[in-house]
Structures are given as C-alpha cells and as structure tokens.
Amino acid sequence: METPKRGFASDNNSGVHPAIIKVLSDANNGHAIAYGDDPWTEKAKAKFKEIFGAQASIYFVFLGTAANVLSLKAITDSYHAIICADTAHINVDECGAPEKFTGCKLISVPSSVGKITVTAVVKHLHGFEFEHHTQPKVISITQATELGTLYTLEEIKALADLAHQYGMYLHVDGARIANAAVSLGVSFKEMITDTGVDILSFGGTKNGLMYGEAIVFLKEGLDNNFKYFRKQAMQLSSKMRYISAQFMAYLDQDLWKQSASHANRMAALLQKELQGIKGVTITQPVQANGVFAVIPKEIIPLLQKEFFFYVWDEHKNEVRWMTSWDTQEDDIKRFTALIRQLIK
Amino acid sequence: METPKRGFASDNNSGVHPAIIKVLSDANNGHAIAYGDDPWTEKAKAKFKEIFGAQASIYFVFLGTAANVLSLKAITDSYHAIICADTAHINVDECGAPEKFTGCKLISVPSSVGKITVTAVVKHLHGFEFEHHTQPKVISITQATELGTLYTLEEIKALADLAHQYGMYLHVDGARIANAAVSLGVSFKEMITDTGVDILSFGGTKNGLMYGEAIVFLKEGLDNNFKYFRKQAMQLSSKMRYISAQFMAYLDQDLWKQSASHANRMAALLQKELQGIKGVTITQPVQANGVFAVIPKEIIPLLQKEFFFYVWDEHKNEVRWMTSWDTQEDDIKRFTALIRQLIK
Amino acid sequence: METPKRGFASDNNSGVHPAIIKVLSDANNGHAIAYGDDPWTEKAKAKFKEIFGAQASIYFVFLGTAANVLSLKAITDSYHAIICADTAHINVDECGAPEKFTGCKLISVPSSVGKITVTAVVKHLHGFEFEHHTQPKVISITQATELGTLYTLEEIKALADLAHQYGMYLHVDGARIANAAVSLGVSFKEMITDTGVDILSFGGTKNGLMYGEAIVFLKEGLDNNFKYFRKQAMQLSSKMRYISAQFMAYLDQDLWKQSASHANRMAALLQKELQGIKGVTITQPVQANGVFAVIPKEIIPLLQKEFFFYVWDEHKNEVRWMTSWDTQEDDIKRFTALIRQLIK
Amino acid sequence: METPKRGFASDNNSGVHPAIIKVLSDANNGHAIAYGDDPWTEKAKAKFKEIFGAQASIYFVFLGTAANVLSLKAITDSYHAIICADTAHINVDECGAPEKFTGCKLISVPSSVGKITVTAVVKHLHGFEFEHHTQPKVISITQATELGTLYTLEEIKALADLAHQYGMYLHVDGARIANAAVSLGVSFKEMITDTGVDILSFGGTKNGLMYGEAIVFLKEGLDNNFKYFRKQAMQLSSKMRYISAQFMAYLDQDLWKQSASHANRMAALLQKELQGIKGVTITQPVQANGVFAVIPKEIIPLLQKEFFFYVWDEHKNEVRWMTSWDTQEDDIKRFTALIRQLIK
C-alpha cells in the first residue's frame, strides 16, 4: 500500500508513535494472566498513582467513548442528569452511548469557545428531591475542549466546588489532557487532583497510542464494584498487558509530554502562518492542538484534496485543523502556502 | 521484567504472534482516515467476503464479548429471547452484558459436552404471539464450544433449519472458530455460510491476535443501521487500521490455520500424554485446543505453581487446560511429567 | 375525612367525573377475559377508530408518561434522537423515563409560549448517516402545551411535513388534547389525522378520568409488535375493562367535550377576572385550561394557604393556575377576590 | 352488554369487589394533591406499617409486574443476578420486563410444585467477586406460587437466611399473598417480616381490587431514592388516592381475608368435587385458590365453551382452574357436573 499523506483531519488519523510500537513488541514476551492481573498493568497503575496521588484508582478500557460513558456510569443512577457543554463529545459525538448505557438525561448547556461556566450550569441545578425531575449529579467538561481551548485551573476548581456544593461530581473528558497540561505548564496533579476533579477520562490514542484509555478515579470509594460495570460494558481487555505497556511508556518516558508539546507547537505555528492571510479568520483561541478558522467556501474542496480535514460548521464555512505528534513543520508550510495560493 | 512462564490457563494468556506484531508495525505508516474508512479495513473486509461469500458484511469490534453482544443486538428487540447452552460464554462469562445491552432474556438449555440439541431447544419454542412471554428469536451456539468440543456440520445445519422454521436466527460465537475449522477439516464457508448460520462472532484474539474481533453477517439486510449500534456500544475503533491489518495478515497468510492447527495438535498431544496416568480422567472429547480432566485435588495447587491453569468445576476437581499457538511440545512433556511425579 | 378544598394546582388534583364513577360500577359485572380481550376494550377501540379513522390502532396504558414513552419507543431505536421543546413534559417532568426506556437522546429546542417551530427544529436535522451522531427520528410536541397554549393546525401540519421530509415522525403528547380540540373548535381527526401526525398520546386523566390513557397510532404498520413493548414496559392492565369502560363513556357521550369546554371557560373567566388587577401580569396566551401569571412574591404563600397552586418559575414569581372539569365559577370569584384583597 | 359468565380462567378475570367500588366513589370528593401527597395515601401507608412493622416503607404502583420489577430494581445493579423458580411469574410471564428495566440476568432454578429449595439455589451461589460472572444478589420466590402451592414459614426463613448469608436479599412476589396467609393461618407479619423477607410485592388485583399493588420494603434503608425509580418506571399514579383508598378498605375491613378465604374454600371445594372422577388427576397440592389437573384431552374444548379456563401444559393436558372472591358454590357444582357428564 502506498504511504498515505499527512493531513489535518484528526489526531486520530495519525499513526502510532514508534516508541509505542516498540513497547508492544517488548511486551510480547511469554504468557501473562489475562484481564489485567499482569505485571505491566500493575506497573502502569502504579505510575498513574504516582502522578495523580496514592488515593487514585485506575481502570483501562479500549477507547475514549467508553472511558467517558463508564466514568459517568460509575457515579450515576439512571434517574440522574449529566450537565455538559452543547459541544461536548459526550453530547454530540458518541451516538447516544451515554444515555443508552447509563439511562441518564444529558442536559446540554450553551458554551463559549467550547467551555461552560458556573453561571450557565447553576441554572440547571434545581428540582432536587422532586421525583418528576431527573436529579443533577454530574458536571462534565472536556479539557482541552473540542474546540482546542482550555479551562484555567481556577475555572476547573470553580466547577468542582459548584458540583460538590450540590452533592454532585465533576468529570473531565481528558481525551486531549496531555495537550492541556503542557499548554498550561502544569502537572496532571495540579490540573486534576488539586482542583477537586472526581473522575477523569485519561486519553492517549489521540496523542500517539494505538488504542486504550484510562479511567482515573481521584477519590476513594467511587470505584466500588466498578469492575463489574467495565466488564458488562464490554471494555475488559483480555490481553490487557498491551494497553498497560503503552501507558507505561507513555507516562514513564515523558512521551506524553514530548508528543503533546510538539502537536501544540505545530498548532501555534499553523496559527502564526495563517495570520495575515486575507480571508482566513481564526475563530477559537488556539490553546492546544487545534485551529478553527473560517475560510472561503470555494477553496475548501481544493484544499481538502491535498490535505484532508473536516468542515466543522457548514453554515459558517468554519473548518477544523488538528495537529498531531507527527505533524511536520514542512506540512504546515506547504499547507499554508497552498491556502495562500488558492485564495489569490 | 522477567520472562513469564507459559501455562495452560487460557489461550488469552498467550502473547501475540510475531507476524501480527510485524503487520502492526507495517501499518504504522502515515495518516489514515479514522473509524474504518481506510485501505486496511477495506482489504480486510474484502478478504472476509472472499471467505464467507460476497453477500457477507463485516464489522470490526474490540473484543469477543462485544462481537457476541452486538451480534445479538443486531437481530433482536428487547422483548426477544435468546436460547443458548447453560455453559455458553454469553450465559456465564459476560457479566450480563447481553441482557444489559439488548434487554433480552437469555434462556439457557442444559448442554452435553458443551453442546445443545434440536430436541433441547425446541422445548422452549412456544408462547409465540403471546405478549406475556419473551419471544424466542435467536439460537446461539459456540464453535468450538467452551468445553473444547465441536458441532458437526449436520448439527449446525439442523439448528439453523430449526431457527429458520420458527422465524428465528442462528448465531455462532466463533471465539475459537479457527480451531473448529482446522479440526473438522472444512472451510469457514462450509461450516458457516453453507450450513445456514445467520451471524457469526469471528474471533482472533485467542489465536494470536493482539485485540480485535469481527462480526460477520452472512445474510443481506441483517446489518441495516448496524453501524449506529456499534458506535453506541462503544466498539468503534478510531485507529481501526490496526485491527484491520491484523485480520489481513491473519486471513491472507493462513496464519489462522497454522496457529489453530498447532494449538489443536498440542491439545491432542496433551491428551495422549495423559492417557495411562492413573487418577487423571479426561472428561470431554478433545476436539480443539482444550483438555478437561478430573485430577486428584491435592495435586492441583502444586501443579498450578509451575504451570498456571484454572479449576473448571471445584465440586468435581475438574480442571481446564488450554493450548495455544505458542505452546511448545516441551511444555507438554514437562507438564505431564510433573503430573506423573505429583500423583506418585 | 373532611372534604378537601378545590384549588388551582393541577387538573390532576381534581377528582373523577361522576359519570366515570358510574361506568366503572356498570362495568363491574361478571367475568371478563383479562389483558384486553373483553367487549369493553373492543368497543372503546372501535370508538377511537370512528374518531381518528379506520387505519388507526389503539393501545391502552395506565398513565400519560407511559403513553409518551411507549409512543416514542414504538418508532425509535436506541441510537435515535427525539426533538422536543425545552419545556416539554417528556423533557422535564418524566424523570428521564424516555431516555431510560428508549435509550435515545432527547434534544431540547428553545420554545416560545411552550411551542417549537420548524425553524428551531431544522437546525438539529443534520448528521444523518454519520454514525457518531444520534439520528434524528422524532419531533414531539405537546397539544395543548405545558403552558396552556395551542399549536394551530397549520403549525402542526408544518412540523409533520418537516418530519416526513426527513424520514422522521411527529408525535403529539395529548395529555390535554380535549382542551385543545374544543378551544380550536376542530375535531380530533382534523387536528391529528388530517395534519399528518403519526402517533398520539391521548390523555383522559387530566380531564376527569380516574386512570388510563391511550396510544393512538395514526398510520398502519407503526404498531407492529408493539404489544410486546407495552407488556415489557409494565403497562398491560389485567382488568383492562375498567380503563376501556372509562374511555367508552368519555368518547361516546361527549363527556370529553363538556369537561374540557368547562375547564377552558373557567380559565378564560379567570383571565378575565384578573385583568385590571395591578401587579398581576398574565405571561402566556390563555388558550386552554391554564393561566400563567407573574404576581407579587409576598402574596404567594398567603394565596396558597386558601387555594393551593404551584410556582412555575421562582426566579420570576411566575405561577401556574390550572382549571378543571370541576372548577366552579364561585372558586374563581373567591380566588380573584382574595388576590385583590392581598395585593391592596 | 350481556352479563358475562364466571369461569375459572384467572382471578384477574373476576370483577371488583363491591366494597371497593364503593370506596372509589367515596374517595371521589374534592381535590387532593396528586402523586401521593394526599390523606388516603397517608392512611393506607400507615395501615401497612401497622401490619408489617413501623420500619416498613410502602410505595404504590399500578400493577403486579411493576411491583416485581421495581422491587428488584431497588436492590440490584445491572451486573447482578436474580435467582428464581423456572415457573416464576418474573421468569415466564413478564415478557422480559425484569431484564429490560434492571439489566440483570435471571437465573431460573428447577422447581417442584412451583417451589425452589436452598439446595437448588445454593448451586448458583458462586463466582462472587469474579467480574466475568453476574453477581447473585436476589432470591425471588412467589407466595402463593404460580402453581397454587405454599412455602412454609420455615422454608421462607431458610431462603432468607441463605440470602443474607451471602449478602443477598429475599424478594417475595405476593400477587396472591392474601391467599397464602389465610391458608397458612398466619399474619402477614409472621409470614414476611418475621421470616426475614427483605422486600415484598403485595398484590390486591387478583383478590378483588380494580388496579394497584404495593411494594413493601421490610428493612430500613432499602428504599433510598426509590421514588425516582418508581417515577422513571412509569409507575407514579397522578390520582393516587384511588389506589390508596382501595388498599385502605382492603386492609382495614379485613376484606382481604374474607375474599381470599372464600377463594381458597372454593378451590378446596373444587378439589373435593373432582375426587373420584375417573380421568381427572390433580397434579399440584391445592393450598390456595388454584387447582391444576390432568384431564382427558377431548373434553377440554367442550368444557371451555361453558366455563373458560387455560391449558397450563399442552403436552400433558394439564389445565389450571383458578377460583376467586366471586366464585359461587353453584359454579363449582355445575362445572364438576359437566366434567362428569363429558367424561362419561
């Protein structure tokens, strides 16, 4: 098969970091007890605890949607409501998996640059004890957001405090959490544990892993009986060592940091190169590895032929360009050169 | 980490065939559209159609439980009943995932050597049109069975005919379908398509893949809208090429055949070596890659220390020994030598 | 027990029309086959068909929430989305029962005076065939709305046309459909069948029945296998004749019309009496049997002591006053007199 | 409509006791707060507490299937298993409602005369803490059973003790609990509270009520948040006073006792009259209000023409005859006379 081109469609379209391929091969050594009772899984979990605190507990699943849905299942009953941004992945990109598996209602809140605020959420915090209403139980945010933006630590803390004040939980969809941490220049612990987050979907696939994500419970007691839900949700990997080995490498060798930093730098470079191009308007703050822009409608298909990407909002001609661990400076240069040329 | 020993606990405890590691590395080449719209997936599906017939349609998922549950979901509504062996994986090893995701009732039928018969199933085929009863809709069998035994082609056809006579479907859990095919000396098409099976969970993980299984719809029209159920069930892989690449290698290069043949030969060898050991009674016909035996209770923990395996039935001291693509003749020799020594 | 006072809290707080008590007693005659195979049910269904057309099919359930949820279940799979007003009963007053039983996502659309428009709905009609998105399948409206307002026949038809254009269905929550029909001065057939509605929750409890509601399928083929869903949803009444007998009386003797007309007249009277009271602002068009008003905060508890009712929106001091088949002119006079007195 | 004949098909085919019709009429007095916050409901609950103990908590629902399903939901998570008789109503007569609403697996155990034993249940009490298995959490029995037989108090206690020993609960489906209590000559408290039952579906419809059943939690803490599940399960009655008023009359005036005693006496009379009829073999101990018998196949349709009833087991020509509060001695005499005549 010929080598496919790199584009800007999705960080999921990138391949796997070579270091990850290597650890998969290294882990391929003899027998290991299936379903997680193996030394790789033990070490990977220990690494997570080192990062997030000894009170954390960690469960591996296959994919990000499952990390989100199972996180929500762990802390809800079917009569609960989950409050999230209208743009949240759980709200618009998971085909109703949260509703199907948890039975809960999702209440979507208008967002700005992909973020929700205490003010917007609090409007939905009523009807407690009234059995006709679903009972608000979770606030769920995405960090970095689906629009490539970031919550500050203060904003996360404010939402965590709000949740706790109402006996609720704060969940973070961290599909791109590495990009958030390097951009904010903080540790995972500072961003998540210390702000009061209760449960985290910790992603890796979008940052160079092959498959596998982690659910991190930040507080003790939240994962009681959780193992049964993971199994029932069809997310218990038999040959789990191959997920765990990826996370060992990802976390141990700062692979997460290098890859995310690189992707973020490429997005910043793309933003920089786009500045001054007439007809291109960047629509969201570029804080992680995505650039959103309104561009002339007529150049979209021409551009897509050379560098594949998706239109985010057809009504506005807003497009989404994602960078990745494997984006090259030269990709950006050639891409922006082509834009300039097409716009002329 | 030190090299773990090979045991007989599960074909899931084996590692990944080196050829699979290689194709994962080969597939790690540039960008590919996520979620299955990539050339690897296209080729892997084409290969499946070559094997099962052009009318077949194929969907990849992460694991065997999901292949089963989604197969069942595709052909049921929540008021249906699914009839299976009391020993079926869907009945006893999936933590209620079939009930949770489909809403259906599972009706378990007493089995002999892991198999169910037309006579046993037909007793449950009543109450049709009676709204108080769940409506029987699927017969589900496992090939090779959970007890390492095989349905003959005639037996499969008889169950398929029975199902169709009642407007029902026949599902096959093929977690070890390769072991069945090589043991029966037939092609997948002869065993599945030609006997009238409607839907198949096609396994690979237990025969040397890292992760990933396939759902094969054998009849047209059964997979209408199925893609939504796969996504909602949290089984749509983003970097799907890495599943597809495994199946390309597995099917293209007869890797499935070599690996399964080897595992079966090792089970046969184990059976042969056990013959004549006093105190060891083989309890199920050895037709695939598993050997079930009653052994003296007192030697179980001693034996497990050297070669890990599971007790199948504690009341009877019946143990299960699984062989795999990577089992060595020497493993069998040393294992049976130890049994002989412990029994003395 | 002392006679409780009449208030304006809810048309559910009213008792049962004496004519209904009488038919329950009349139906209490000998044995009848349980679960609906009885002459009362046959006649009640025939009456519905007379009203809505011979193509209609009718199923009785216990309550309005079930009529809604089962209506939605009949025409959806779990990956579908249901679009409704933010104020819809299914969205805010059923404790997530629609999500739990159907698995679907509810997409709530901003409403004005309880109504949604083609323009507002059409914004959510995208993502078709894209498996990451829930697939829009139903538009659900309430007639009369939760705010006591009415869709015109043209508005209903426009929403039905929109739904059908996209391969979707239009569901009407008719908990107060009698109030709507008498207010619009049209027949049920003109309002529902002729506008193209696909499925209707036909309510009676809020208009003088004891219990029991009907699901009316307006098109053939929509109720295939529906009987199993009704049973599985715990909505198949054993002594069904007592529901059916109520509907026979309700529809045969124009009881529905008299009761709804009376309730609407009482709401109109209440509106009239409120006009000119300083400090009372009616907030929604009064088109059925509810009056919504902003009143001085301090009089609310004093007023509630004499005539019970609920605050609709605490932030705005907006209250809801419902009239019923048993509201008396004198109730209105004394109520408004008290308001005048308290405001002074 | 002409007066339908009384038959022996089902105690659900009987009408409503005249005393119940009367209290429905009496309760039809002015306004009452909907959804249970009314004086009738308060009194009915108090009466239940008087009977079962002050620690009990009571929730009304519409029907028996809902009482069972919601009882089970209250004490399970979706990964649990519920163990019951193969003949249990929850297993064969509820169209999979328990699986659909709870997500749990039902494990059916072979029964004798409708009853299960500690020995039979204990075989399924394994796999605890093993996430591949559903976790046994409930033993559910029916009293009186679906075959008109009774558990002794010792048998109930033994099953309750077994359940508690394993951290499980004992649920009793009491659709015909009144028939059981009068037959055993014990109080509800002795039969249920004192034996250690955890949760009870308390039926009334089969013993002369129009509709409505009660869920009785016998232990404190089991009903935490249960009100939300009832609402979400579509079982919260708006005009609840009409259910509560029925139970007030049913329990206050010993209506339950008179009606059940009468029905049981009629079954005993039927049994007596059948003795000595050649070709009629009674198949189950007659301990409540049902008689099961094998009769000549050819007389079944002739007999059904005059007195409607159901065939229980077509293979054996076993029929079920249920008596009720309104069965007359003369019905029995004419029925058995006809049998004698037909058999000749």
Which of B209, B234, B308, B330 should one mutate to test binding to chain A, selecting the residue with the greatest count of A CBs within 10 A? B234
CA C319 to chain centre: 19
Which residues in chain D touch residue C65, judged by CB atoms under 8 angstroms apart?
231, 234, 236
Tokens 């254009």 identify what position?
C165
CA pair distance B325, C41, nearest whole angstrom:
65
Strands B80-85 and B105-109: parallel
Which whole number is the average pLDDT over C320-324? 97
- CB A250, CB B118: distance < 8 Å: no
* Size of the A and C interface in Cβ pairs below 8 Å: 51
pLDDT higher than 60, residue A87: yes
Which whole number is the average pLDDT over D128-144? 97
Residue D25 touches chain C, beta carbons under 8 Å: yes
- CB D33, CB C7: distance < 8 Å: no
pLDDT interval class at C303 (50, 70, 90): very high
CA pair distance C80, D177, nearest whole angstrom:
42
pLDDT interval class at C2 (50, 70, 90): low
Cβ C4–D97 below 8 Å, yes or no?
A: no
Tokens 């506008």 identify what position?
C195
- The pLDDT, as a whole number, for residue A3 is 56
Closest CA to B67 of B161, B140, B163: B140
Closest CA to B324 of B259, B249, B251, B268: B259
User: Hey, how many other C-beta atoms are within 10 angstroms of the C-beta on D257?
Assistant: 15
- The pLDDT, as a whole number, for residue D186 is 98
C-alpha distance from B119 to closest chain A C-alpha (Å): 31
Interface of C with A in 191-230 (CB under 8 A): none
- The pLDDT, as a whole number, for residue B3 is 55
pLDDT higher than 60, residue D225: yes
CA pair distance B188, B177, nearest whole angstrom:
8
Residue C234 touches chain D, beta carbons under 8 Å: yes
Question: Given its phi and psi angles, is residue A201 left (phi above 0), alpha (psi -120 to 50 degrees) or beta?
Answer: beta
pLDDT interval class at A4 (50, 70, 90): low
User: Hey, how many other C-beta atoms are within 10 angstroms of the C-beta on A55?
Assistant: 12
Which residues in chain A touch residue D135, judged by CB atoms under 8 angstroms apart?
228
Residue C131 touches chain B, beta carbons under 8 Å: yes
Interface of B with A in 48-77 (CB under 8 A): 62-66, 69
Cβ C105–A106 below 8 Å, yes or no?
A: yes
pLDDT interval class at C6 (50, 70, 90): confident
pLDDT interval class at A253 (50, 70, 90): confident
pLDDT higher than 60, residue A15: yes
Cβ D93–B134 below 8 Å, yes or no?
A: no
- The pLDDT, as a whole number, for residue B1 is 52
Closest CA to A229 of A319, A105, A102: A102
CA pair distance C85, C110, nearest whole angstrom:
6
Which whole number is the average pLDDT over C96-113? 98
Complex ipTM value: 0.97
CA pair distance A147, A320, nearest whole angstrom:
8
Helices (H), chain C: 18-27, 39-52, 64-74, 89-92, 97-102, 118-122, 153-165, 177-184, 188, 226-232, 241-252, 255-274, 300-306, 329-343
C-alpha distance from A94 to closest chain B C-alpha (Å): 7
C-alpha distance from C137 to closest chain B C-alpha (Å): 13
pLDDT interval class at A1 (50, 70, 90): low
Which of B69, B80, B131 should one mutate to test binding to chain C, selecting the residue with the greatest count of C CBs within 10 A? B131
C-alpha distance from B78 to closest chain C C-alpha (Å): 8
Residue B90 touches chain D, beta carbons under 8 Å: no
DSSP single-letter state for residue B61: E
C-alpha distance from D86 to closest chain B C-alpha (Å): 10
CA pair distance D244, D34, nearest whole angstrom:
12
Cβ B39–A235 below 8 Å, yes or no?
A: no
Which residues in chain C touch residue A96, judged by CB atoms under 8 angstroms apart?
78-81, 103-105, 134
Helices (H), C64-176: 64-74, 89-92, 97-102, 118-122, 153-165
- The pLDDT, as a whole number, for residue C87 is 98
Cβ A134–C93 below 8 Å, yes or no?
A: no
Q: How confident is chain B (344 residues) per 10-residue block, as mean pLDDT?
A: 76 96 95 95 98 98 98 98 98 98 98 97 96 98 98 98 98 98 98 98 98 98 97 98 98 95 98 95 98 97 94 95 97 96 93
pLDDT interval class at C4 (50, 70, 90): low
C-alpha distance from B292 to closest chain C C-alpha (Å): 41
- The pLDDT, as a whole number, for residue B344 is 85
Cβ D131–A231 below 8 Å, yes or no?
A: yes
C-alpha distance from C132 to closest chain A C-alpha (Å): 5
Which whole number is the average pLDDT over A146-160? 98
Give the H/E segment covering residue D330: helix D329-343
Which residues in chain D touch residue C16, judged by CB atoms under 8 angstroms apart?
24, 28, 239, 242
Note if the bond before A144 is cis, omega within 30 degrees.
Answer: yes
3-class DSSP assignment, residue B311 = strand
Cβ D232–A135 below 8 Å, yes or no?
A: no
pLDDT in tens, D58-98: 999 999 999 999 999 999 999 999 999 999 999 999 999 99
Cβ A96–C106 below 8 Å, yes or no?
A: no
User: Hey, how many other C-beta atoms are within 10 angstroms of the C-beta on D220?
Assistant: 11
Among A132, A227, A232, the residue with its CB nearest the CB of D231 is A132
Which residues in chain D touch residue B105, judged by CB atoms under 8 angstroms apart?
96, 99, 106
- CB B70, CB B233: distance < 8 Å: yes
Measured torsion, CA atoms of residues A162, A164, A167, A172, in degrees rounded to the nearest 10? 90
- CB C39, CB C189: distance < 8 Å: no
3-class DSSP assignment, residue C222 = coil
Which whole number is the average pLDDT over D272-298? 97
pLDDT in tens, D139-157: 999 999 999 999 999 999 9
* Size of the A and D interface in Cβ pairs below 8 Å: 40
Which whole number is the average pLDDT over D27-55? 96
Q: Which chains touch D (3 or more CB pairs under 8 A)?
A: A, B, C
- The pLDDT, as a whole number, for residue D344 is 85
Mean pLDDT for chain D overall: 96
Q: Which chains touch C (3 or more CB pairs under 8 A)?
A: A, B, D
Cβ C134–A100 below 8 Å, yes or no?
A: no
Which residues in chain B touch residue C35, judged by CB atoms under 8 angstroms apart?
131-132
Cβ D105–B106 below 8 Å, yes or no?
A: yes
